Amino acid sequence: MSDQLIRAISRDGYMKVSAVSTRGLTERARQIHRTLPVATAALGRLLAAASMMGSALKEDGASVTLQVKGGGPLGTLLAVSDNLGNVRGTVDNPALDLPLREDGKLDVGAAVGNQGALTVIRDLRMKELYIGSVGLLWGEIAEDIALYFVESEQVPSACGLGVLVDRDQSVLAAGGYLVQMLPGAPEELAEQVEAALRSAGAVTELLRTDPDPESLMRRALKGFDMEILEKSPIEYRCDCSRERMERALISLGPQELRAMIDEQGGAELTCRFCDNVQRFTREELEALLADMGASS
C-alpha cells in the first residue's frame, strides 16, 4: 500500500493518536542517500516521527525539523516535515555498518548514540521559531520523542517507531504511532495505554503483518474506542529548486563566486535532502555576478 497518515481521537476525548505507514518514503530516502541498514532504520524512524509531528501543525507552510545529535558514529540526523506530513531527511554517515545486536536487531541506539540531544524546531510562519530540546537517553528515537513531549511540552506521550529492512537492504515495512494525552485525561489512562502498547508488541512486527496505519493503531490500542479524524497520503517530498540554489550561490558573495568561476569554470550543486543536481555554467555564474554588482 502507499504511504498514509491517520489522525484519530478517543471517543471520550482524552487521547489523540497519529499513525503512519512510511515504507515508500523510507525506501526513497534509502535510495537517495544510499543508506546501509542501520542508517536506513534510524533515518526511517526519524522521518516517521517528523511526519506525525508535522501533520499536527495547522498553519499552511508550517514545518517541523527534528535534529538528532547523539554523538554516535551515524553523526547528525535531520528530518523535516511540512504540515501535511510530507517529509525529507538526511544523515551524516549513511554508509555506517555496525554488527547486529545479540537479539539479531539493528543496533540503532549504538549508531545514533545517547550523548547528545533531540532538538525540535517548529516554523509556524511567524516571526520566531519555536525550539525545544531534550537530552537523548536511549538514541532509539521513539522513546526519545516521547520523552521530548513529556519534558519539553508536559504532554504525557507514547511513541512507537519501526523500520524493517529486507535481506536485499530494501525497506520491507516502516511506520509508527504517537499517542498523546489531552487535557483532563484521568491519570490511570496513561498507564492503561502503556499496558496496551506493551502487549501489542513491536511496531515492526505489527507493520509486517499489516502495514495499514489504521490497523496498526487499532491493534496497538486494543480495547480503546478510537474515531478516525483524517486519513491522508504522505510522501518523500523536497521543496528545493534551481531558484533556491541560485540564491545559495548569491549568498556566498561575489568573491567566492568569482573564485568558483576561475577555479572550477562552473558549479554543480546537489540538494542535501534529495537527488536534485543543478549545474551552473560559467556564463550563468557570470550573469549572477553581474546582477549582484548591479544591485550593490
In the complex, the residues that contact Zn ion under the rule CB under 5 A are 238, 240, 271, 273-274, 276
Q: Among residues 133 and 276, whose Cβ is nearest to Zn ion?
A: 276
Q: What angle do CA 234, 240, 243 make, to 5 degrees?
A: 145
Residue with Cβ nearer Zn ion (161 or 274): 274
Instruction: Compare residues 238 and 292 and give the one whose CB is closer to Zn ion.
Output: 238
The residues, any chain, with a CB within 8 Å of residue 275's CB and separated by 6 or more, are 32
- Report, in Å, the least distance between residue 238 CB and Zn ion: 3
Q: Is the dihedral of CA 180, 83, 231, 87 positive or negative?
A: negative
Of 80 and 164, which CB lies nearer to Zn ion in the complex structure? Answer: 80
**Residue 101: CB atoms within 10 Å:** 12
Can you give the chain as a three-state secondary structure string?
CCCEEEEEEECCCCEEEEEEECHHHHHHHHHHHCCCHHHHHHHHHHHHHHHHHHCCCCCCCCEEEEEEECCCCCCEEEEEEECCCCEEEEECCCCCCCCCCCCCCCCHHHHHCCCCEEEEEEECCCCCCEEEEEECCCCCCHHHHHHHHHHHHCCCEEEEEEEEECCCCCEEEEEEEEEEECCCCCHHHHHHHHHHHHHHCCHHHHHHHCCCHHHHHHHHCCCCCEEEEEEEECCECCCCCHHHHHHHHHHCCHHHHHHHHHHHCEEEEECCCCCCEEEEEHHHHHHHHHHHHHHC
Query: To the nearest whole angstrom, how small is the minimum distance from the Cβ of residue 92 to Zn ion?
Result: 17
CB closer to Zn ion out of 177 and 273: 273
Name the residue nearer to Zn ion (CB basis): 47 or 147.
Answer: 47
Q: Which is nearer to Zn ion, 199 or 270 (CB)?
A: 270
- CB of 276 vs Zn ion, minimal distance in Å: 5
Which phi and psi angles does 254 have, rounded to 5°? -60, -35
**Closest approach of Zn ion to the CB of residue 284, in Å:** 19
Q: How far is the CB of 271 from Zn ion (least distance, A)?
A: 3
Based on CB atoms, which residue is closest to Zn ion, 76 or 215?
76
Reading the block at residue 55, the C-alpha cell is 501533520
Min dist. Cβ of residue 275 to Zn ion (A): 8
Q: How far is the CB of 240 from Zn ion (least distance, A)?
A: 3
* Least distance from Zn ion to the Cβ atom of residue 28, Å: 12
